[in-house]
Structures are given as C-alpha cells and as structure tokens.
Structure 1
Amino acid sequence: MKQLLILMFLVVSITINSQTKPIDSIKHISQTRVKKDLLKITKTPKSRNYKNIETLNNVANYIKSELIKVCDTVSFQPFSINKKTYKNVIGSIGTNNKERLIIGAHYDVCGNQQGADDNASGVVGLLELARLLSKNKLNYRIDFVAYTLEEPPFFRTKQMGSYIHANYLHKNNISVKGMICLEMIGFYSDKKGSQNYPIPDMQLQYGDIGNFITVVQSEKSGEFGKQIEQKMQQQDIIKTISFKGSSLVSGVDFSDHLNYWNFNSPAVMVTNTAFYRNKNYHTKKDTIETLGLDKMCAVIKQLYITIKQLK
C-alpha cells in the first residue's frame, strides 16, 4: 500500500547529470554579505511575528533598503488585517517586459524566536538573487516579493501576504511565467538519520542524510516546474531532489507557493524540507549558528544560474 501511495501521490527523482557544468562569472556567493543580512533580519529586540508590527515594519524597511540598491522599482504592498496594517515588499527588475517571474519568501516568524532557517534564510536568498540578477539582461520581468503573515494563525487564509499578492496579479490579468518560493534553505546535516520523508519508504531509496535541496512541485507547476527541476539538477552545485505530488502528501503545499497554485499560476517551492529535517523548526533553537552557510550559498548560486537560463 505504501508503494502504491508513492506512485499515486509522489514522484521523486534524482538526476545525475554528466554534462559539463555551465561556466558562470559568479564564482561564489559572499558568505559575509549573507551573514550580514541574516543578522539584520534575526537579531531584533522582539520576534518578527504578527503581534510585533513595529518589528515587522523594521524588517520590511531593511528589505526595501537593500532592494532599492539594485531594483528598478521598489514599493510596499500594504493591507489591513483586524485594523492593523501589514506590508509585503516588492522589488522589480526588467520592468519593460510584460511576462513576470515571481521570486518570493516570507519574513515573518511563528511565535517568539529568531526564525533563522524559517524563513530568514529564504529572504536572504531573495535579496542575494536580486543583487545578482539585476546585473543581467533578461527576457522577462522579475518581481522579488517578501511576504508577511505566512505563519499561523494566517496560514491557508486570504490574509496571507502571498494571497494578497497572488490575488492582485490575478485580478489585474498579469501574465505570470512562474513563481519560485524560497522556504527554509539554510539547514543541512551530514549525519545519518538527519532526514525524514512524508512517506517513510522513501528513505530506503533516497537515504537518511539531510544534505540536499529539494524542488517541490504539483501538477500545477507544469513545464515551468520541469525547467526549474532540470536546470537546478544540471548545475550539480548542490545535490537536488525533485518532489512532485498532490496536497495529500504532507508538506507539499506548506508555504506561499500554495496561493499561486490556487490562482492557477505555475509555482515551485525550493526548500530543505523544513520539519522533515530541521528539528529546530518553530522553536527558539532556530538560530544562525545552526545554519550551513556554505550549502545555503550553493543553493543561491544554483538558483541564480537556473533563473538566467529560463526560456
């Protein structure tokens, strides 16, 4: 029965590509800059949860200040929840192009904690990709969107920042090439037993060491999802596994890409598998000191090259 569930709901693939790795002018991602961003986002007097609006605003201001340095346009997308104003931050490049690629990550946390992996790591990846991609001429517009209110009690509601953004695109008939959700890309382990899976039998085939990154897809990811999967695996900078399944598999839709799927936009989530690996998830132990910056930077570089090669 378990094997049948795997065939019905989840296709997992690992591609070992023997082709020559693409040559790119970016030899490495600056760990110094990455750590600076992490410190700015996590080392706040109060946790950046929905109750601490001043903290959320300060983090949003920092994100905006960094995007202003490299983007063509930068703005807040404010929205009101329970008579309080929250903000998405949107920075755009290639604004002369009609079709858009969305790269998104949420900056709020669950409860009182730093949230270094969940999800400062994703926001830092977003900022670094904005810096790198702004130097390239692309055939589409890229919107870098930092969302608020991804975490409970707003998850799976129309009050999520990503729902607000996805709904805006839908209502205005804006063409979306695809959406890449960066959700926890900082935690890795080379220890045996460090990796779990939504279906236990997967461990027999793919091992129990949490040293890889994943591209999570559904049937709504379409050709866009296939491109992201294949191009990331071709880089071979960090081991990449593709998970493809329905929402019946726990975790497949556990982030902001969910809202783009709901509006029938192709989307993927790039993640270290969250609580299937990182036992610090939603606890005060989710700190910068637990992150693997070398592998995190490898993920960012692999994404950068992948996005440049999108057709």
Structure 2
Amino acid sequence: MLFRLLLPLLLLAAPVLAQTPAQPTAADTARLRRHLVALTTTPEPRNYQHLASLNQAADYIKDELAAAGGRPTEQPYEVQGQTYRNVLAHFGPETGPRLIIGAHYDVCGEQPGADDNGTGVAALLELARLLGGQPALPYRIDLVAYTLEEPPFFRTPQMGSYVHAAALHAAGVPVRGMVALEMLGYYDDRKGSQKYPVGPLKWVYGSRGNYVAVAQKFGNGRFGRQFARRYKTAAGLPVKRFKAPAWLPGIDFSDHLNYWHFGYPAVLLTDTAFYRNKSYHQPTDTLARLDMRRLGLAVDALLAVVRQPDS
C-alpha cells in the first residue's frame, strides 16, 4: 500500500531528475580537434602581420568562452598603429585572490601553429567548458588568451601577457599564481626523441618525449610546488617536474615570464616545445602530428588541480 501511495510521487520526480545535467569531468577530444581546426584554418596565419586572421581567432575564442559560461571581456592595446587584444573570461567567485591560466593565440611567421600554440588555446577553451559545468569553484579563475607572444614582440612590453600582468600589478589585484599553457599536443614514445638544454638531464628525465613538463624557476614559492605536486598526482600520463635557474634555456620561454617580472608565482605547462617537436615554428606544425588523447589527459589533470581548495 505504501508503495502505491509513493509511486505517483516518484513518477512526477523522475522527469526532474532526468533533466539534471551531468557535471563534466573529462576533456572531449572531438572538441579539442574542432578548436584546432578553427585556429589553423584562418585565411592567413594568425600572426601580427595578418590582423584579420588574428582577429578571427580572437573572435572564435571569445565566442567559445561565452558559450562555456564565462564572462568574456577584451583587453585591447595599440602597437605600431594597430590594435591588438587579449581575450579574457573568469569563472568562480567575483572576489578574492585569483588564479590566472593563459595561452597565446598568435603564431610565429607563415605557419599553422597547431602545437604552437593551438594546443594551448584548445586546452584553455576545453578547460573553460569544464569549469562552466562545475557547481562551485573554490576561488576565482581567470582564463586569458594572449596576443603577440611570438617574435618580434617576445620579451618586450608589447607581449599580451606583459600587458595583462602589468594591469593586474597596477590595480593591486591579488594573484594566487599563474599557469602558462604552451604546446601540449606533441608526444613521441621513441628513445632519443626528447632533448634537453643540458645533455646530462636525459639521464634524470629520460630520452622519450612522452610526458608533460611542469617547469618553474628556483624561488617560485609555495604555489609552484603545490601545483606541480598536485598535477603529477592527478595526471593520467607521465609528468616531469623541472625546477631550474631562470637563465636555463627554455625555462622562461613563454608568457609566464611576464608574471615573474611583476613578482607573481608562475609555472609553465608544456610538451617541451622545440626540445621535442622538430616542427616548432615550421610549416609542418600541423594538426595531423598531434595526439588528441594525451592532450585531453593534460586538460583533465589541470581541471583536477584547479578544483582543489588551498591546503
């Protein structure tokens, strides 16, 4: 009798339960591929000399961040009479110290830039989708797509990441730390496929290019140690942790260097770029050479880390 009385209530509740969306917890490799196709098929390579194609990429990024549930804004600035723009969106609480996760969307020269840095941007956009599906986040996370990382602007105040970091510093914004996503899609399991700035490092880290690296300089503080440890624990693929002087070639070869300049702790998440991928800055840096499965695993580990509160 009790079951007969409860049955109508259960039937009424069933549609409500069925409509509750599942919380996304894993990267979608099809979406990662779609982002890479969009970024690598602009009419001209997305570099500073082809502003229309660079803006097409920026528009795509902004639309995807909005679709993910972020609140996208732009940070325009002028260089040599042209307007370039960073694209930003934030997730989680409005206030409090924030985590910055960024990737540059421009390329060097006349090449498609699938790994450099299409994979970093694709990872950023897929992370945005996953963050948008979280019921709550422990702190504010700002996702930033930077312009003008590549030469001739690298190591100058015209870099998009320099403009962003300088603005945070000028406004006194508290920053927990920064993660630069720089080339995350190329892997090679063969012996001898991984090179290093100093030859003997291969005896410590191995000669196979099958891992993601978390690189940071000495004195990078608690944030860097905690991020590297948590990322390695969460990852479904091998992770190597590098800590070295900032002068070691490659340690500061991306947007994180500008956050160091303003005193913010920052790490580089990468497939090690030219130390592994011989198509770096070449026309052969194409989607066909990339591993979507392992790119997805790199994003999954990143989501697992940023969902954790400070300990």
Query: Which residue of 111, 115, 119 maps to 1:121?
Result: 119
Q: Which amino acid aligns with 1:98?
A: G
Report the secondary structure of 1:303's partner residue.
helix
Aligned length in residues: 288
CA distance in 2, matches of 1:90, 1:72: 9
Query: How far apart, CA to CA, are the structure 1 residues paired with 2:109 and 2:275?
Result: 20
Residue 88 of structure 1 is aligned with which of 75, 83, 86? 86
- Summarize deviations over 1:181-211 as a string: whole Å, max 9, x none: 0000010011111100111001123221100
Instruction: Report the 3-state secondary structure (helix = DSSP H, G, I; strand = E; otherwise coil) of the residue aligned with 1:73.
Output: coil
Q: How is 1:1-20 mapped onto 2 (pairs within 5 angstroms)?
A: none
* Distance change >3 Å, CA 167–CA 71, structure 1 → 2: farther
Unaligned runs of 5+ in 2: 1-21
Structure 1 residues 1-311: aligned runs within 5 Å = 26=24, 28-136=26-134, 137-311=136-310
| Structure-2-length-normalised TM-score | 0.90
Bigger CA radius of gyration: 2
SS at match of 1:232: helix
| Higher mean C-alpha deviation, range 199-208 or range 45-54 | 199-208
**Range 49-58 or range 220-229, more displaced:** 220-229
Take 1:306 and 1:54, find their aligned partners in 2: how far apart are those partners? 36
AA matched with 2:218: E
**Deviation string for 1:45-83 (max 9, x for gaps)?**
100011001101010000000001123421111000011
Cα drift, residue 221 of structure 1: 2.5
The letter for the 2-side match of 1:182 is L
Q: Percent identity?
A: 47
Indicate the structure whose relative CO is greater, using CA pairs within 8 Å and at least 6 residues apart: 1
- Specify every segment of 5 or more residues in structure 1 that has no aligned partner in the other structure, as ranges: 1-23
Q: What is the CA RMSD across the aligned residues, in angstroms?
A: 1.4
Q: What TM-score results when the alignment is normalised by the length of structure 1?
A: 0.90
Which residue identity is paired with 1:44?
T
- Structure 1's 196 and 66: CA in aligned 2 closer, same or farther, altered over 3 A? same
The residue number in structure 2 matching 1:7 is none
Task: Give the 3 Å change call, closer, same or farther, for CA 84–194 of structure 1 in structure 2.
Answer: same
Q: What CA distance in whole angstroms lies between the structure 2 residues aligned with 1:101 and 1:71?
A: 17
Q: Partners in 2 of 1:28 and 1:266 — Cα distance? A: 27
- In structure 2, do the counterparts of structure 1 residues 239 and 25 end up closer, same or farther at CA, with 3 Å as the change threshold? farther
- Deviates further, 109-118 or 229-238: 229-238
